[in-house]
């Protein structure tokens, strides 16, 4: 569970992420759910830890019900995003709410840390990271640099 704690640390201390509005928080949750369900290896314990970590973040102050509802919705959608086009649609829709390069890179970093959390980058996780980078307007060299922090 060290990776979940690392993710929670990043979320709670990254200044770029503490000022997100409700729509932006929902967009981040959509993207993170897309990553955690990408490899079809999400255990019940990981799901509980993921949800618990998100609910402890300072950027959800007074928004617990909104976040909980969004986790449920996004998890369901991400589980059934079986085609590259499905995943691209989710990522593109969510990215519309995240307009600043520094926030986009922070969100991509969170997604990358989650994808590498089991120390193996599965093929679908790699594909999802490419889709997210594209949706977030992060070029491939920069996306690789961010990912290398977690590989």
pTM: 0.81
Position 4 scores a pLDDT of 54
Q: What is the pLDDT of residues 101-140, one digit of tens each?
A: 888 998 998 888 888 877 778 899 999 999 999 999 999 9
Q: Name every residue whose Cβ is closer than 8 Å to that of residue 43 and which is 6 or more positions away in sequence.
A: none
Report the alpha-carbon distance of residue 13 to residue 99 in Å, rounded: 20
């Amino acid at each position: 569970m060290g990776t979940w704690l690392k993710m929670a640390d990043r979320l709670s201390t990254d200044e770029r992420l503490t000022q997100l509005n409700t729509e932006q928080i929902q967009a981040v949750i959509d993207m993170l759910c897309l990553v955690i369900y990408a490899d079809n290896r999400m255990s019940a314990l990981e799901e509980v830890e993921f949800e618990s970590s998100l609910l402890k973040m300072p950027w959800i102050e007074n928004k617990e019900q909104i976040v909980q509802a969004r986790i449920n919705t996004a998890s369901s959608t991400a589980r059934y995003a079986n085609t590259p086009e499905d995943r691209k649609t989710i990522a593109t829709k969510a990215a519309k709410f995240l307009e600043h390069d520094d926030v986009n890179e922070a969100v991509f970093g969170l997604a990358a840390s989650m994808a590498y959390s089991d120390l193996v980058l599965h093929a679908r996780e790699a594909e999802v990271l490419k889709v997210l980078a594209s949706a977030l307007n992060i070029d491939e060299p920069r996306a690789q640099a961010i990912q290398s922090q977690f590989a």
